[in-house]
Amino acid sequence: MPFKGPSIMQSGLSALSICCALFQTAQGVSLEVNKSGGNASSPLMYGFMFEDINHSGDGGIYGQMLQNNGLQGTTPNLTAWGSVGDSTIAIDYDNPLTTAIPNSLRLDVAKDTTGTVGVTNAGYWGIPVDGSEHQTYFWIKGDLSGNITASLVGNGTGTVYGSTSIPITSTSDNFTYVDASLSTSKAPDGDVYFQLSLDGSEVAGASLYFGLVQLFPTTYKKRYNGLQPRIANVLEAVGASFLRFPGGNNIEGEYLDNRWKWNETIGPVQDRPGRWGTWGYYNTDGLGLDEYFYWCEDMGLEPLLAIWDGFALESGAGTPVTGDALTPYIDDALNELEYVLGDSSTTYGAMRAANGRTEPWKVTMVEIGNEDHLGGGCATYAERFTAFYDAIHAKYPDLTLIASTNEVSCLPSTMPTGAMVDYHDYNTPDGLVDQFDYFDNIDRNSSYLVGEYAQNNVDYPIMQGSVGEAIFMIGMERNSDLIKMASYAPLLQLVNSTQWTPNLIPFTQSPDEVIETTSYYVQQMFSVNLGDTVKEVSSDSAFGPVYWVASSGSGSNYYVKLANYGSDTQDLSVTIDGLTTAKLTVVGDDDPNAANTPDGTPVVPVHSDLKSSNGTFTFTMPAWSVAVLAAS
């Protein structure tokens, strides 16, 4: 969607600042942080929301890089596959690998051929070859005693970025499993395909069947079936505190039957059938329930697990589910929680242990559904929430349970003590600024998750919107005794296949092209500079165009977060009695429409060290900027 920018004259700008902007006069704001008192602030404040949208999972953070590798779905096709030399490919329905992977890829080799034959896979709009040791796994059926060469080839250039010759002895009785590694050199772009090839004379006139061909780079933390390191590393650098998963709309399903089913995302990948995702493409579910928990453990994130709550998006197919019909779904959620939390003597805990994880996962938070105030979910949500809440709370009284909306009309008239609510806000930059005091005025009975928020109506986050987000976040942090957790959404985007913009981290399959947007930097700056107590700040200035919040952390660490929503430079003076040194991080741009995109990344944070003899730090904030002063 093309961005229709708002007028540069923001409602928060006074007539004076508009006047003086013409003369390039810097404005002044003095703040004094009160070191006594303050309100406790949440240790989980800034996290991630993940669902498979825009190929953020398959084709994105999930390490497996070949598209359509299991020919899954009710009407499979040959997307991404091709043949090499004197051979053809077809979907074979008579040689299933497993019940879940009911089809294989048949390679029919011409009679009398002597050249190279084989199959290719184009990946998800390319393959990001990062130079690491890669691993391929596949099954093969058919009579062969010879070598298959696995290689990564530049499309158009023919450059080979990695290749290995794999001795194979397979028969037509059953599939033979192949596991091979190949060293690679880093590709300059993502225009690379994967190839399995062999000498045609060894199989002339015959057919070979390939099942579930997989390709991984060396994964994040070297985990089997793990994550793409180039994306995981960028996420890790945010220093976030929690991961909300697996959705989002993607847990709901378009229809009852294609809701996210936890039990079909566990165990060996060849036993996962995948599902038609909510965002218009097939999900392999290779990134499944256990993989999400490994992700959390490896990145130091608290899991926030969402469960399906009786509501699919298209209500035509018998949803929302209510009354007695809910019982099997509640039972299913309890089974899921036993899989996650039960020890290995329990039925489902034993299943988890059999899948390689003996210790229960550490889960303290569960969200019941997603956005149940939308699309016809509201009227029945109070009933559905209560039914799930009662059943789960009875068995797991220590879990924090979260309602998927904060709209009072969709919630039970009295919320159970300790339950949280979820508020979402996609908004224009101005709209986010208008929401600055939203959290000052909420009903203070419940704690909040702000499970999704971001600027909207742009292709990539723009600086003005990122400042708007920072102001919205300052509003949250000022109230972080109640606003426990907040996650920007969506998180990741393969730019070649996109359903929603903007996203925090867009990427292409060019190995280095994982974009740190202006909003990414804001998330990172707020996340790594998290205190535990929100402090009172006094000032002669009112909020707007400069906004702030201060907190203290362990030792004598203080953090002052600031946003300048305007085209004037601002002179800042921040006093924190007795402190002498500070690190200042500023991200901003004179152009409110500046954006980091695959076409260029003009905006980067600037770091500087400040000193003070009397506790007062002075510095300037550029136009359209966000800053964090970390003092001690």
Ligand X SMILES: *[C@@H]1O[C@H](CO)[C@@H](O)[C@H](O)[C@H]1NC(C)=O
Residue among 336 and 452 whose Cβ is closer to ligand X:
336
3-state SS, 137-188, equals EEEEECCEEEEEEEEEEECCCCCEEEEEEEEEEECCCCCEEEEEEECECCCC
Nearest CA to 51 out of 489, 551, 399, 349 is that of 489
Min separation Cβ 7 and ligand X, Å:
29
Residue among 21 and 486 whose Cβ is closer to ligand X:
486
Q: What are phi and psi of 365, to 5 degrees?
A: -135, 135
Min separation Cβ 73 and ligand X, Å:
6
Residue among 7 and 74 whose Cβ is closer to ligand X:
74
- What CA–CA distance (Å, rounded) separates 101 from 285? 12
Min separation Cβ 524 and ligand X, Å:
24
The H or E element that residue 317 is part of is none
Residue among 193 and 520 whose Cβ is closer to ligand X:
193
Residue among 285 and 291 whose Cβ is closer to ligand X:
285
Which residue matches tokens 């109506």?
457
Residue with the CB atom nearest ligand X in the bound state:
37
Residue among 236 and 332 whose Cβ is closer to ligand X:
332
Min separation Cβ 264 and ligand X, Å:
5
Nearest CA to 134 out of 164, 94, 173 is that of 164
Residue among 357 and 478 whose Cβ is closer to ligand X:
478
Site residues for ligand X per CB under 6 A = 34, 36-39, 68, 73, 77, 79, 82, 98, 120, 122, 125-126, 147, 155, 165, 167, 174-175, 177, 193, 261, 263-264, 280-282, 332, 408, 414-415, 443, 445, 478, 495-499, 508, 534-536, 538, 598, 613-614, 616
8 Å CB contact between 310 and 322: yes
Q: What is the CB neighbour count within 10 angstroms for residue 611?
A: 8
Distance of CA 554 to the CA centre of its chain: 29
Order across the sheet with 533-535: list the strands. Answer: 39-40, 533-535, 546-552, 558-564, 625-631, 581-588, 606-611
Min separation Cβ 198 and ligand X, Å:
10
Residue among 234 and 494 whose Cβ is closer to ligand X:
494
Min separation Cβ 536 and ligand X, Å:
4
Burial class (CB in 10 A: 0-12, 13-18, 19+), 490: buried
8 Å CB contact between 475 and 436: yes
Per-residue buried b or exposed e for 395-424, using 16+ beta carbons within 10 Å of the residue's own CB: ebeebbbbbbbbbeebbeeebeeebbbbbb
Min separation Cβ 567 and ligand X, Å:
26
Q: What is the CB neighbour count within 10 angstroms for residue 351?
A: 18
Residue among 345 and 613 whose Cβ is closer to ligand X:
613
Min separation Cβ 299 and ligand X, Å:
26
8 Å CB contact between 488 and 106: no
Min separation Cβ 258 and ligand X, Å:
12
Min separation Cβ 614 and ligand X, Å:
4
Residue among 155 and 364 whose Cβ is closer to ligand X:
155
